[in-house]
Structure 1
Amino acid sequence: MTSRGQYVITCDLCDKPTKQFCQVSLCVDCVSNHVDKHQSLTHDIVPFKSRKIQLVFPECEFHPHQRCEAHCQQCDVPVCIKCFLSNHKGHNAIELSKIVVNKMRDIETETEEIEIVILPRYMKVEAETKVKASECSARYNELEQNTQRYRELWHKNVDIIFNNLSSSINSKKNDMLTSLNNHQTLLSSLILEIQKTIERNKEILKTNKVSQVINYESKLKEYRSTPSDINIKIPSLETNTIPGVELNIELEEYRAILTQTSISSQIEEANYYSTRELLDKARVVATIPTAVKPIWRVACVGDNAAWVSGDDILMRLVDIHGFVQDIVKTTSMEKPSDITVSRQGRLVYSDAKNKTVNIVRYGQTEVMLTIPKGWKPRSLCCTRLGDILVNLYNGGQNKIVRYQGKTLKQEIYKDDNNKDIFKTGEYRLCIAENNNGDICASDLNADIVIGLN
């Protein structure tokens, strides 16, 4: 059963409860002040419960000194008595006061639902998110402590393994806490907005101005869609020891092995060398709704989320249910040329105006690469070895460059016979890396796909 509370209507001149009414709400103490201030007016002061609000109808824009007290149903506009004798002669109409009564009733019902049902639900989700953030931090701290304890069992030459391990944990922890904090910030912002909507609606319920009531725009449908919760998945630290022979430790995709004769550290990505049969017919796994129209770029983050971008300056992280988890703006205030995701799951985007490739870490945008003069960055691809491939464009010429960190390692635009690999034209190259580490480029100017070893 839902309990329904009533809000107190206060005096329009102070914050005390309303007792009297004279086309404005008044407390007992403010009645005399109101009368003294408006001595030239006639006052009809009655108990608040016996009030009759005198509606202020809008002036007719076609007939001076005439008030529009009706609404033409055929033309869907307010009209005065003279309008019925001219442009709206013979049209059906309804009294504006009836429209106001119905609209006021809807606003009151909607405000009650927002205040009594929806706002507590948002506040509950926010509180749960705070608890999860605290638990997440504590469990990650415990994970770091276990890592340090295992470190002491290993030889000093394997410090690099545990440094990588700690870096991975911190990265995962920061990414998860950033997602939770962003989610909490989003909820706090929405709660503040809802509270303002409630206050605004209450003001409308007290007004006698028809235009404010008529122009009211409902946000009830928007507020009913409570943002989805964030699931927390804490990785476990696994270790296996054969005394005198082998030490083995793993954290998700990270694995390190120490044997009597060698120390090896390797990073294995799930399904990295896996092969999959191509289906005869494509199968739809999920349909994810977004507010982006048209969608120009998509970059997957794991199996349950993706960054998407369109014609505006925003890049949105959307989960599999279509809820926006994060939003990033381009620093140049122009739409991104392309987006991709690094091996650590961080958003990377190219900015043709600033001639940079940027990466977003913990909510902050950093310049990752500055493109040589005369060239503009377009398509991007992060490789499995941590390099980044960038399609550069200059007056119809395309080339692919490989960066390792900030160092230029390779330029691809000529073949062994010193001939241009890519056809001159206005279109970009779309680039990707296959499981063999080869570069695949679709040359839209030549309508071909090129494989480069």
Structure 2
Amino acid sequence: MDPRLSAQDIIRCTVCKDKIVQMYCNLCPMNLCKDCVGEHISDVSKKHDVVPLALRRSKLVYPLCQTHSEENCEMLCEDCNIPACPKCVISPTHKRHHFKSLKDLMNSKKENIEKERKRLKETVYSTFEEIVTDIETRLAEIDGKYEKLTLEVTKHGEEWHREIDKVIEKNKEDINDKKNQHRDALNQHLNDIKKLAADIRQSILETEDILQSKEVIKSLSYEIKSEKFTKLPSKLIVKFPEFTENNNRDQCSQLFGSLSSLSITTKEDGYTMKTPEAVSCPPVKPLLNEPELITTIDTGYDKVYSVTCLSDEEIWTHGKDKIMKLYNLQAKLLKSIQSKSGNVPRDIAVTRTGDLVYTDRDTRTVNIVKNDQIQEVIRLQGWVPLYICSTSSGDLLVIMVSDDNKQSKVVRYSGSTEKQTIQFDSESKPLYSSGGLKYISENRNLDICVADYKASAVVVVNQAGKLRFRYIGHPSTFMGSFYHFFFKKESFYPCGITTDSQSQILTADRDNDCIHILDQDGQFLRYIDICGLQRLWGLCVDTRDNLFVAEHDGGRVKKIKYM
């Protein structure tokens, strides 16, 4: 499959279910391989619109006119409440009728659907997830609570004579029965809540499918469902029984003590719906029509590999040298730090507290610079640390390769303690290629983004290490007045990578002298290929979303304003 056609998985032909797709019918809509195109367009009852896959869904799919079968209906007759084609509009049947654009109606409806999807996903569904967690927590407490209750009964029973053993056993049975009732009640409540949550999730998927669709009728026929989910279920309140001692031993059965009744009630206002205001989002910053070159800093390196921001006014750099250098934006050298071993560092990063960290391939170590003193943080065996980034939580994410250079993985460290390993996908296949350049960055949504040069892909996993998507390049696109038709000279080989306040992913396309900007879901937004960029490697952004680009061969760092 041409890697420019998709950043995701291979698409198969809708007709034969087997061959790789090259074409797409905008009318039907259907994915088609070249062999199935002829069979598809043989149906002359429709005016098929078969285009290359890269141009799929470039047109809206309008319904065919019921009166003029060769025409598409792009309008809606408000008086008749039916779709109308151009011939219908001028026909006597619709004389003096009022018409509206189906496209405008669809866009309006999709805005409501998008609000529906956002509300269901960010408020309703997340609330139900919290309810499930609450019930599961209470379920987990049951054994401990009832075990404590059992111990109380047992301890009191040991103080009594042998003849009341039967009474003790009867109470234990009573406890067990109440525990089962308690568990059954909460389990039933949990199942009911999970079913509602599943229904909400299904509605979210339906809205996402409609939002991606270009079918007008499909959008217009959607019925808003969120209202039925906004009334939260009653909260099940189950009060644990308590054991009451009785030290009067005259009548064993009555005076030994008894359990209170198991109380199972519901509370109408037991749960509270989350509100959209509870979700903190950064202000939206649009991309500039024309990115601006702010300044160029000559690092003095013959070749520069990485750049990372210490502040909005200072950047750390490293190149083909054992010295790491701190510059201000006026290109003044503020500080130089030599690696402890005298080796060339493989990568650098700045921690949340402002300390410089770097990897040393030859000594298999990750080191931190505090008060100009270098301390070893991590030393590996069997693996070699290569690339590194610091996370918002203060952890370190380290890309490492095995000694035989056949395996690569990402490992999360808190200090020198290993917390997480990310190496394989859900099918136990390697997420990353073996060896090669692999810059890494944590996104604002806590995704872990790796520019895998050897694999020609940007690999993004979520915080738990589950694969979200692979981006493998994008076809040439006209991007506006300052952009041109971008004809790729080479295949896509990502090098440096960084993320900004909008959770956008920026990756350096080294061999094509440009930067790809993606949204947090891997959708291509645009290229930056101005400012005379050449042989790009490391990237970083400051707190104001200014981009710093390390030009490998020239030893320069360029600051670019793009938002």
Bin of the TM-score, shorter chain as denominator length: 0.3 to 0.5
| TM-score, scaled relative to structure 1 | 0.45
Q: More relative contact order in 1 or in 2 (CA 8 Å, sep 6+)?
A: 2
